[in-house]
Amino acid sequence: MVDECYSKSTWSLTLVVLLFVTRAVGEDPYRFYTWNVTYGDIYPLGLKQQGILINGQFPGPQIESVTNDNLIISVFNSLDEPFLISWNGVQQRRNSWQDGVYGTNCPIPPGKNLTYVLQVKDQIGSYFYFPSLGMHKAAGGFGGFKIASRSVIPVPFPPPAGDFTILAGDWFKMNHTDLKAILDGGSDLPFPDGLLINGRGSNGYTFTVDQGKTYRLRISNVGLTTSINFRIQGHKMLLVEVEGTHSLQNTYDSLDIHLGQSYSVLVTADQAAQDYFIVVSTRFTSQVLTATSILHYSNSAGSVSDSPPGGPTIQIDWSLEQARSLRRNLTASGPRPNPQGSYHYGLINTTHTVRLQNSAPIINGKQRYAVNSVSFIPADTPLKLADHFNIPGVFSLGSISDNPTGGGAYLQTSVMAADFRGYAEIIFENSEDNVQSWHIDGHSFFVVGMDGGQWSPASRLTYNLRDTISRCTVQVYPASWTAVYMPLDNVGMWNVRSENWARQYLGTTILSSSLLPSKFLER
């Protein structure tokens, strides 16, 4: 089915590339990338592992772009299995067939290539890309994705002296195929073996700064299963951007970064001239894993001293209060020259309310994960392809409830209907005892509320309808709920998923499609 899928899509993609190239005169700038995806030996935790490399690099090369740039990325799959790359947070305006997940894209067969044609239309911010099939993410293949503001749009802080990307997250010593076998066998993943910062374990990476200057750090949690806390010994962090939104510039000693989330902070090298620890540690885990890198002053008079600073561990209330402190900078311009606060999201009437409740059922004797009792199973044909060619019998529209059912879980390729150009209220409800993290491709949403206990209509009285942050990935704390408002304004079929990769693989993802009518695809 992969070869057939590939052949159906190749002509259309080739035509798109030719049209874009021949019409490039007078358009927004083009940037061209050629990537070769291979296996290679890596040593992230001191032991040799089989990693996924892009152009021989782990992590992969950084994508540097500017608002509205057109990106032509030709990906050659030199692995011995199908492969796809997805672009975490890039909205792909009216372009969901470039989203890079199995629901919208044909996998790239071994020995073949696929040219992605993206435009970072009306976006700024800090993101990352990652391999989306199977458990490839556990082997690498991820990298940073930066979208800078156009020179004519003011940025609400002085230009920093430097710009660093930090990709942090948990890591397993087991090969990705062994991890996949564990999940296929009906079990959950074991506890991670360690944490990485830019592909390396403790003290394997150094960031050099000049004393007295200020630097921008773009930090993403690219892990598989675990929230992390980020901090820098002796230094404060000024938050300036959250997944494409300029934030109120609050100062933090440390930041919780949940699976799939990205933040930008400014850090000033205003301490004595020596080296300092950069620390990440796991959150909400009984065993705390820690990894460190070095912040090196170029005129350093000494190496790191003392021990890495400790951080929060299992405190839910502390993390919840920090999440509520994230606010939108209402006076700053985003990718366009109008203030972010000019879009009065809280005054728009919602057209559709969806409550999505995650669960961890055992189905047919195996561990699965579900939403509203449905544990998604992928079809042989990607759903976007089936929708485009009107192929019957691939998925069933309207076969998942808008609300928790309270019934037993079951396997199904189901799609939830919604209305294109509607304005959805989505409530993520988590009755389990661990933190969930949800991502919605193709869109950003306003995080209007989160709290413990059971959501009810009265919970709307607590919503922030003035200056909440807009982002694409949000956490839901144990026995808690999180509510978002989302404009259904991007035509296409989209992936809405758990960022916990074991849960995503075993049934908890939502693809959303806006094709008159739009559809929310549940996985």
Provide CB contacts within 8 A for 7, sequence distance 6+: none
List residues bridging with 381 in a β-sheet. none
* The total number of residues written for the chain in this structure: 523
What Å distances lie between residue 77 and 10, 101, 129, CA to CA? 15, 15, 16
CA 145/CA 90 separation, integer angstroms: 9
In 112-154, the DSSP E strands lie at 113-119, 125-131, 143-148
pLDDT at 512: 54
CA 244/CA 89 separation, integer angstroms: 8
- The encoded tokens of residue 152 equal 């004519």
For residues 437 and 492, the answer to whether their CB atoms sit within 8 Å is no
pLDDT at 493: 81
What Å distances lie between residue 337 and 124, 163, 246, 341, 448, CA to CA? 12, 23, 13, 12, 24
For residues 328 and 467, the answer to whether their CB atoms sit within 8 Å is yes
Model-wide pTM > 0.85: yes
- Of the candidates 487, 483, 437, 447, the one whose C-alpha atom is nearest the C-alpha of residue 468 is 447
Provide CB contacts within 8 A for 315, sequence distance 6+: none
CA 247/CA 54 separation, integer angstroms: 32
Q: What is the tally of helices (H) and strands (E) in the chain?
A: 5, 37
- The encoded tokens of residue 325 equal 């402190």
Provide CB contacts within 8 A for 182, sequence distance 6+: 188, 189, 190
CA 236/CA 492 separation, integer angstroms: 41
CA 219/CA 441 separation, integer angstroms: 19
- Of the candidates 117, 8, 16, 15, the one whose C-alpha atom is nearest the C-alpha of residue 384 is 8
Classify the C-alpha dihedral 106-107-112-113 as positive or negative: positive
Classify the C-alpha dihedral 172-177-180-184 as positive or negative: negative
pLDDT at 21: 45
Provide CB contacts within 8 A for 23, sequence distance 6+: none
- Of the candidates 290, 422, 438, the one whose C-alpha atom is nearest the C-alpha of residue 349 is 422
Q: Give the H or E element holding residue 18.
A: helix 2-22
Collapsing DSSP states into helix, strand and coil, what is residue 373?
Answer: coil
Q: What is the DSSP secondary-structure string of 306-361?
A: S-PPP---S-HHHHHHHHHT-BB-TTSB-SSSSBGGGS-GGGSPPSEEEEEEEE--
- Of the candidates 77, 104, 96, the one whose C-alpha atom is nearest the C-alpha of residue 381 is 104
The one-letter code for the residue type at 341 is G
The DSSP secondary-structure symbol of 53 reads E
Provide CB contacts within 8 A for 338, sequence distance 6+: none
Q: Give the H or E element holding residue 184.
A: helix 176-184
State which residues of the chain have pLDDT below 70: 1-26, 510-523
- What is the Cα Rg of the chain in Å? 22
Q: Give the H or E element holding residue 76.
A: strand 70-77
